[in-house]
A and B are shown apart, each in its own frame.
Chain A
Amino acid sequence: MSVRTTPATGATTESSATARPVAPGRGPGRRLAVAGVPSALGIGGLLLSAQLGVWDESLPGPGFYPLLASALITGAGVTLFLRQSDAELEDATPGETARVALGIGLLLAYAVLFPLLGVVTTSFVISLLWLKVLARESWRTSLAIAVGATAFIYVLFVRLLQLPLPLDAFLPR
């Protein structure tokens, strides 16, 4: 039962993080999750840095510094591959993984809705869902805290700090 934790976010997903309980430090899936991601990041970095130009004439080029950083990641990543004891991944039940995925979904929804609906509506809706669905609070508690938290955000960021945030249609300008 392979549980994918994250929606499409590129290199940072851990699609191989299976929830099957295996003794710590065993199993190819785990090792891939722990060592494969850094190794891939390092090798990708090496290739990109090489394209930038590592050394021109007698001086280091734009790719010089990223190349060193990528080499460090690659070296350490490969070491992780070789040393099995380091390839540990905590067990997560499918339920827990689903909660984290939902949390990420709510954060992304916040990012999408914020410029469209404005700070107050977005904050209220997302915090209400977070409290009700993720924190499993009662409707009454969730509503009370969501209203309180949204009011806090409005007073702090919009009124006191007067930051240039996208305001909801119903708010005074």
Chain B
Amino acid sequence: MDALNGLTTGLSVVADPANLLYIVLGVLLGMVVGILPGLGPTATIAILLPITFSLEPATSLMMLAGVYYGSMYGGTITSVLLNLPGEAASVVTTLDGYQMARKGRAGPALGIAAIGSFVGGIAGTLALLLVAAPLAVVAAKFGYPEFATMALLGLLFVTALSSGSTAKAFVAAGAGLLLAAVGLDPVSGSPRLTFGSTEMMGGIDFVALAMGVFGLGEVLYNLRHSGEPDVLTRKIRVWPSRAELRQSRGAIARGTGIGTVLGLVPGAGGTLSSLMSYALEKRVSKDPSRFGEGAIEGVAGPETANNAGATTSFVPLLTIGIPSNSVMALMFGALLIQGITPGPTLITEQPGVFWGVIASMFVGNLILLVLNLPLVGGFIQLLRVRIGVLGALTILVSMVGVYAVNVRSFDLFFVVVMGIVGYWMRRTGFPAGPLVLAFVLGDIIDQAVRSSLLVSRGDFSIFVTRPVSAAFLGLCVLVVVWQVVSRVRTARAVRGHRTDHTETAVPTETEGYR
């Protein structure tokens, strides 16, 4: 009973009052940023990275994880009440959730979303608990070729599943890979692309990159709009009726399944899970015309799926050390600044971190459910915070935080430049997620490919003669073929009926990036 022992270890870490406090802080902050338009979970986690530097590794990861799944709960609230998704995974919730609110059923919509999120989160955590340890054992047998091909596969997935233009996603991914090359060459030790700067010799700082692209980029982008949303102040009865619960039961069960499985796919995470769940609910429904008019299953299913998916997307990070979306890339960074390199050895070398994070999700989801049902009305008041005021606080925390990581003024300028890059990417429709993820994966790919070729003396066949590595490469080819085929099909469909854009308009955004 590895999982049971692990859970005991984890719960003893969580039971530490300081850790409990940070879990509560994390989930609360997650709720808050999920509600506030203009600051998503990815930006928040990026901004928090320097602060976690002074925490214990387990504490830091538990808090950041709390921000992530907490934001999944919070994002629902604005989707339902204002038709404004606070984060990408809640986009589909607006379809039926907002319609329910317009018909005076905002309370049950929020209630069922909280219950579904809880069920999804707990099921996802259970899956994580059971799958993680065995997978880490398998991953421990991987060598350089396997890591290289797996990281490549993850990158392809994320880029292919990214929203909008694939070419733009590839530009972003390429830029991330190129930025990862800056610094000393891992094999020969000679400087690469440093332009003679001593600060660049150590490579580009991940925290500065992430805070700039996500945090400051978002603040600058938000400067373009001003004004405040209308706030609903009425009291809301949150508990769904028994009939509504019965109606949602199937949707919650199916959403759990979809989310748990899709969360394991790199790049899918919560966002794709919620989209798939919505599509499935509409298909199995006896009366699909109700969807889009305020069907409670259309809220229950996706909300369950996105939380389950967000939770199981931790599996590749914790067991293999490959982050599968931009939020996981940030978690990867959080471990790196603690001096821990995530990988198959995490479970044996840092059992407190590994099991602690998993156990904290049980506790965190419970806290969220308890907070959500009675306090929704209070959280809504947060919408009164004006976006410019939020921006002022964000820039202070970002600038001070980024300086504190390496204690050098160079990073202050670097984070501003990255903020400009992040702003420019938003303006021109380049997704920021693939850039940051590729930056993390780039280091892995560079090292693993070069080391593989050192072993094989420059012979590329090492990637196809090893079965696991060959399988990963085969999957890469499949992803590319599938992309090309679906492109051609969409192009044909668009040529067929010029007005039908449904297939391309679906917001399959990379996890966390808005």
A contact residues around B387 at 8 Å (CB): 135
B103 within 8 Å of A by Cβ?
A: no
**Would you call B220 and A52 a contact (CB within 8 A)?**
no
Q: Which residues of B contact A (CB under 8 A)?
A: 51, 54, 165, 167-168, 170-171, 173-175, 177-178, 180-181, 185, 187-188, 190, 192-193, 216, 219-221, 223-226, 386-389, 391-393, 395-397, 399-401, 403-404, 407, 409, 412-413, 416-417, 419-421, 423-424, 427-429, 442, 445-446, 449-450, 453-454, 457-458
A contact residues around B223 at 8 Å (CB): 96, 99-100, 103, 134
**Would you call A14 and B424 a contact (CB within 8 A)?**
yes
Q: Can you list 18 A-B pairs with a CB-CB distance of less than 8 A?
A: A38-B175, A59-B454, A60-B453, A62-B188, A69-B178, A70-B178, A77-B167, A96-B223, A103-B219, A115-B409, A126-B396, A135-B387, A136-B226, A136-B388, A137-B386, A163-B54, A165-B400, A165-B403
Per-residue contact bits, chain A 9-52, to B (CB 8 Å; 1 contact, 0 not): 11011100100000000000000011001100110010010001
**Would you call A157 and B424 a contact (CB within 8 A)?**
no
Q: Total A-B residue pairs with C-beta atoms closer than 8 Å?
A: 203
B contact residues around A37 at 8 Å (CB): 424
Given A45-B178, A108-B416: A114 and B168 within 8 A (CB)?
no
Q: Which residues of A from 57 to 79 have beta carbons under 8 Å from B?
A: 57-66, 68-70, 72-73, 75-77, 79
B407 CB to nearest chain A CB (Å): 5
**Would you call A59 and B427 a contact (CB within 8 A)?**
no
A69-B180, A92-B427 given; 16 more Cβ-contact pairs under 8 Å: A41-B178, A63-B192, A68-B177, A73-B175, A75-B170, A76-B170, A96-B225, A111-B416, A130-B391, A131-B389, A135-B386, A135-B388, A146-B392, A153-B400, A161-B51, A165-B400
Given A134-B388, A135-B388: A12 and B216 within 8 A (CB)?
no
B contact residues around A106 at 8 Å (CB): 395
A contact residues around B427 at 8 Å (CB): 14, 17, 89-90, 92
Q: Which residues of A from 83 to 133 have beta carbons under 8 Å from B?
A: 83, 86, 88-90, 92, 96, 99-100, 103-104, 106-108, 110-111, 114-115, 119, 123, 126-127, 130-131
**Closest residue to A109 on the B side, CB-wise?**
B416
B198 CB to nearest chain A CB (Å): 17
A contact residues around B170 at 8 Å (CB): 72-73, 75-76
